Amino acid sequence: MVSPVDNHLSRVLSALCHSADTPRALTVEILRRHGEWVQLLSLATDPRHYLANQASKLRKDVAVSEFLRKCRFDLLKAPSQREEVAITGFFESERKCAQTNRRFKNLLSGFYPESDDAWALPFLDKARGFVAKVLGRLPDSLEGRFGPGATFGDRGRLTTIPDKITTGIQLTPGASCLEPLLRGTAWYRESCLLNQRTGPISFSRGNRFTTVPKDWKKDRGICIEPSGNVFLQLGVGSLLKNRLQRFGLDLTRAQDRHKIWVAEASRTGSHATIDLSSASDTVATSLVKLLLPSDWYELLTALRSPATLIKGKWVVLEKFSSMGNGYTFELETLVFASLAYACGGGVLGVDFSVYGDDIIVPTAVASDTLRLLDYCGFIPNQDKTFVDGYFRESCGSDFFNGEPVRAHHVKSQPTAPEEWTALANGLRRLALRDNRDAWRWSFPYTAWLRCLDVIPSAIRRLRGPDELGDLVINDDDHTQWGVRVKSCIRYFRVYRPVAKPLAWTHFRSGVILAAALYGCPSRGVIPRGGVSGYRVGWVAYS
């Protein structure tokens, strides 16, 4: 059988194993050598099995076990098989939401629930009050915006702002009541001119299911919304973000804050980190209706897609919204924050925090929070939820007894110099994250050299500071930097992408004017996949 892993990448992993020199690293190396890739990728490293003084050992074991886990290997699992796993997950989440909707039916109808449910009433009342305080009064206006991705009617490379303006506005029927919010926009005016026969608005029954890469076994399901819906959904998402910030949770800084929290919690055990499986896909419609004030619920309901097109068939949704909806992230943050608060979490942003489905609560209330989350239809991931012990994880930060132990994940097999540069820099960050001690750098150093072996010498000589990212090979040795100074400004020699903007001559004058009003640059827009190559050049950095 042909190895699914490139020989160069396999040698990098081998070097990492030899440097780690742990029993787990030996296991990985034996499996690699004998081509047992499925077994290798299925290995799990449980931080609960490590002692307080074994942070270094855990960091090495995780590094070798997790190195290839998120990489897609078509020879091990075909794209159609990974997609099928995502589709199965979609319907499992729908069944879970249907159960939740049935559970809350009596509550929404005003009937007293079964005695087994009575314990949850005080918590839900408190959560509802929290949501009302955060949201406040419904605003008089809504400022929509374009997102960077595809929409129901805009696919492939044709997803730039002028492409979306040219296609026109597409809404779900339920969102037609919000058409007045679009009438004053340049997009609406141009859509009227482009679609004089059919009218400025076209309609779609709902969104479209598709998948994006997740790991070697499965893809992640997302849904692509109609263009008009997502334009206004993003406006609602900004509103929710602002209301949360006024109440103590700044989502623009929450990831950095979570990193600090989990580092401290892994040392002291003060807080627990909770992870949920398919979190956004299990936010049931009835739960949102129960928690939100009626006017806010009506606004969000008008903009949600009530059905999903999957495998050529329309499925009426039990969930409220999916990833791809412009306000799903902020809404799930609000929902989970309200449930954590109801369980005695304390002050949002001070005593507990939420970022999407990443939940940090005081350890003392973790049990109640998990119980309430389960009651509301969510599935705590027991493998990634940490209430005790020395390990905590949140927002991509993994800490064990105060030490960072997160692995570097290869997302795709590197083939080009810029991809090998990114891998080399990732291994360097693995060693030097939050600490510049030489002994840390000695662990992945040989693997780092194996990456550099593949890079042509002319590009391998391009070195620079971490702040330049993957435009250069990151290096602390200033003597290795390719730098020159002109007018007191430092210019670094880098290997940078070359993107050819799409000329404005492709679009009508009205579309160009509308796109300019939405912030598109005068030099043209770059379509998806618009990078045509890489070349050596200079960039300014102060």
446-460 pLDDT tens trace: 999 999 999 999 999
Report long-range pairs for 212-215 (Cβ below 8 Å, ≥24 apart). 213/70, 213/72, 213/411, 213/412, 214/70, 214/82, 214/86, 215/69, 215/70, 215/71, 215/72
Higher pLDDT, residue 114 or 309: 309
**CA neighbor of 399 nearest in space, from 277, 269, 279, 276:** 269
Sorted by where each begins, the domain ranges of the chain are 7-67+409-455, 466-540
145-173 pLDDT tens trace: 999 899 999 988 889 999 999 999 999 99
Sheet with 358-362, edge to edge strand ranges: 271-274, 358-362, 353-355
410-448 pLDDT tens trace: 999 999 999 999 999 999 988 876 555 555 678 899 999
pLDDT of residue 268: 97
Question: Read out DSSP for 390-454?
Answer: SEEEETTEEEETTEE-PPPPP-S---SHHHHHHHHHHHHHHHHTT---HHHHHTTHHHHHHHHHH
Average pLDDT over residues 272-283: 95
341-376 pLDDT tens trace: 999 989 999 999 999 999 999 999 999 999 999 999
Average pLDDT over residues 105-131: 83
Query: Is 531 a residue whose pLDDT tops 90?
Result: no
Question: Read out DSSP for 294-361?
Answer: HHHHHHHHHHS-SEEEETTEEEE-SBS--BTBTTHHHHHHHHHHHHHHHTT--SBTTTBEEETTEEEE
Query: Is 480 a residue whose pLDDT tops 90?
Result: no
pLDDT of residue 111: 67
Query: Is 467 a residue whose pLDDT tops 60?
Result: yes
175-216 pLDDT tens trace: 999 999 999 899 999 999 988 888 899 999 999 999 999 998
pLDDT of residue 478: 85
84-96 pLDDT tens trace: 999 999 999 999 9
